[in-house]
Amino acid sequence: MKKIIVLCVFAACAALAGEIPTTNLFESTPWILLTGSHEVGFNWMTTQPANSWLEYRQDTNSEWKVSFYSKYGLKDGNTLYHKAYVKDYDPKKPIWYRFVGTEVIKFKFFTAKYHPEVRSEEGMIKPVVRPDGSWTAAVFQDVHAQNDMYEPLLKLAGEDVTLAVSNGDPCHYFNSEEDIVKLLGIPLSFFAKKGIMATFVRGNHETRGSHARYLPNYITLRNDQYYGTADLGFARVLFLDSGDDRADFNKQYGGSIDFDPYMLEEGEWLRKEVASEKYKKAPWKVVIMHIPPQTGEDTWERAKPHFEDQVPTLVKAEPDIVICGHDHRYQYYNKEDAKKLGFSFPYVVGDTKPLERATVERLDVKENELALTVFRGDGTTLTNEVWRK
């Protein structure tokens, strides 16, 4: 009896000291984001502080490759949140992945101590681009914490979707780590569970709340920015960050935002992008941004650094379609209607909750055809536009 008590005490002390490994080290399905033409970012969680890294391959007969995140010479470690980039991604192939982790017992200089390596179950993301170069995106916007809308809207968009786009405002604000995981991480992991690649475009509500500035700790970005491009099949896609719809001096922020210089920097980048040969030679040009383009006396405070600076660039660039959200009411302007507003491109604005009025935008990209279909949650088709070259 005394021996059993001693063993129990020893086991309890060992557990407290971290000597007994956690049964399930990996918390949940990861969120996996397309971050470039040939780059994907993986984000995952562990239940205990750990050093963890990614193993991946795009051919079942090939060896597993390894990727880990490091910055300023230090590998990511002793944390619950992990990320890694795959920089040799082929969007025409599936990608298989698994995570390796060593739970931390002690993490000090000269005395680092870990549990043995453990591996997660394997996962797979289907190709973004089909063998013929075509692909299909489903664009979601303004879900505003109604996570149960993703599944029915995805069903409307179709099971053959190859890319899911979160186009801003999945939340009301990010006041905590829990907000980010629950309202962005979990929805993005929903697509990973279905084997669908996702990507993220920041909306104005992700800029709000005390934890908003820590968002990059939990997601993978495009060259360390929220904006960027990807060449997918026959299209060059521009993912633009609209910033916030209120000015830096707005009293609601108490002096905590500094979007004016940031938006001007993005504007400089945008001008270089649309002047590039890659943009000019792309058969189709697609822009995805949260806040719709506006000119003149718009209804939002942020006129100068965003609309007055970037929209003229887009007008000169003449993209084939611009997909937006933010306004909480469905709008579609074909090219002729858009011309009356001073734009050179058609654009669509998606709607929001409740589900019956919420929209999902389906974009089909082929060599000689671009198609936009907008579905409303009640099953209605609002837009069915096809452009051919």
Q: Specify whether 211 is located in the same domain as 62.
A: no
Instruction: Give 26's DSSP letter.
Output: B
Residue 214, helix vs strand vs coil: helix
Domain membership of residue 24 (yes or no) is no
CB atoms within 10 A of CB 211: 17
In the chain, count H helices and then E strands: 8, 22
Final residue belonging to a domain, choices 105, 125, 145: 125
Task: Output the CA–CA distances (angstroms, integers) from residue 187 to 63, 107, 128, 150, 181, in the order listed.
Answer: 31, 33, 19, 7, 9
- Report the CATH number that the domain containing residue 187 is assigned in CATH: 3.60.21.10
Domain membership of residue 310 (yes or no) is yes
Q: What are the φ and ψ backbone dihedral angles of 265, each rounded to 5 degrees?
A: -65, -45
Q: Would you say 50 and 101 are in contact if contact means Cβ atoms under 8 Å apart?
A: yes
Q: Would you say 200 and 166 are in contact if contact means Cβ atoms under 8 Å apart?
A: yes
pLDDT of 250 above 90: no
Q: Specify whether 143 is located in the same domain as 75.
A: no
Cα–Cα distance measured from residue 111 to residue 109, given in angstroms and rounded to the nearest whole number? 5
Task: Output the CA–CA distances (angstroms, integers) from residue 316 to 100, 176, 237, 271, 285, in the order listed.
Answer: 48, 41, 16, 10, 13
pLDDT above 90: percentage of residues in the chain: 78
What mean pLDDT is reported for the chain? 90
Instruction: For residue 301, name the pLDDT band (cuts at 50, 70, 90).
Output: low
Instruction: Give 335-388 pLDDT, tens digit per residue.
Output: 999 999 889 999 999 999 999 999 999 999 999 999 999 999 999 999 999 999
Q: How far is CA 27 from the centre of its chain?
A: 20
Q: Which residue has the higher pLDDT, 241 or 256?
A: 241
Q: Specify whether 156 is located in the same domain as 121.
A: no
Q: Specify whether 163 is located in the same domain as 251.
A: yes
Instruction: Give 336's DSSP letter.
Output: H
Residue 57, CB half-sphere, CA atoms under 13 Å: how many?
A: 8
Cα–Cα distance measured from residue 69 to residue 224, given in angstroms and rounded to the nearest whole number? 13
Residues 6+ apart with CB under 8 A from 322: 287, 288, 289, 292, 293, 314, 345, 346, 347, 348
- Residue the block writes with tokens 């040939």: 38
Instruction: Give 98-114 pLDDT, tens digit per residue.
Output: 999 999 998 887 778 98
Domain membership of residue 9 (yes or no) is no
- Residue the block writes with tokens 């968009």: 157
Domain membership of residue 19 (yes or no) is no
Handedness of CA 347, 170, 50, 62 (dihedral sign): negative
Give the model's pLDDT for residue 294.
76
Beta bridge partners of 385: 372
Domain membership of residue 3 (yes or no) is no
Q: Specify whether 178 is located in the same domain as 273.
A: yes
Domain membership of residue 288 (yes or no) is yes
Rg (CA), the chain: 23
Instruction: Give 17-44 pLDDT, tens digit per residue.
Output: 456 877 799 987 899 999 999 999 999 9
Tokens matching residue 84: 């890694």
Q: Specify whether 216 is located in the same domain as 121.
A: no
pLDDT of 15 above 60: no
Q: How far is CA 330 from the centre of its chain?
A: 22
Q: Specify whether 310 is located in the same domain as 381.
A: yes
Domain that holds residue 42: 31-125
For the chain, the distance separating the N- and C-terminal CA atoms, rounded to the nearest angstrom, is 84
Give the model's pLDDT for residue 306.
64
Packing angle of the helix pair 259-274, 309-317 (nearest 10 deg) = 10
What is the per-residue DSSP string for 215-267? GGGTS--BTTBS-EEEEETTEEEEEE----SS-TT-GGGTT---HHHHHHHHH
Final residue belonging to a domain, choices 104, 125, 146: 125
Cα–Cα distance measured from residue 54 to residue 69, given in angstroms and rounded to the nearest whole number? 9
Q: Specify whether 82 is located in the same domain as 215.
A: no
Instruction: Give 58-89 pLDDT, tens digit per residue.
Output: 999 999 999 999 999 999 899 999 999 999 99
Cα–Cα distance measured from residue 210 to residue 176, given in angstroms and rounded to the nearest whole number? 7
Cα–Cα distance measured from residue 80 to residue 91, given in angstroms and rounded to the nearest whole number? 29
Q: Would you say 170 and 145 are in contact if contact means Cβ atoms under 8 Å apart?
A: yes
Q: Would you say 269 and 241 are in contact if contact means Cβ atoms under 8 Å apart?
A: no
Q: Specify whether 89 is located in the same domain as 235.
A: no
Domain membership of residue 2 (yes or no) is no
Tokens matching residue 296: 């003149």
Tokens matching residue 316: 């000169």
Domain count, the chain: 2
Handedness of CA 326, 331, 334, 336 (dihedral sign): negative
Give the model's pLDDT for residue 7.
32
- Report the CATH number that the domain containing residue 86 is assigned in CATH: 2.60.40
Burial of 7 (0-12, 13-18, 19+ CB in 10 A): exposed
Final residue belonging to a domain, choices 125, 149, 184: 125
Q: Specify whether 256 is located in the same domain as 333.
A: yes
Q: Which residue has the higher pLDDT, 259 or 57?
A: 57
Q: Specify whether 230 is located in the same domain as 366.
A: yes
Q: Specify whether 111 is located in the same domain as 141.
A: no
Domain membership of residue 115 (yes or no) is yes
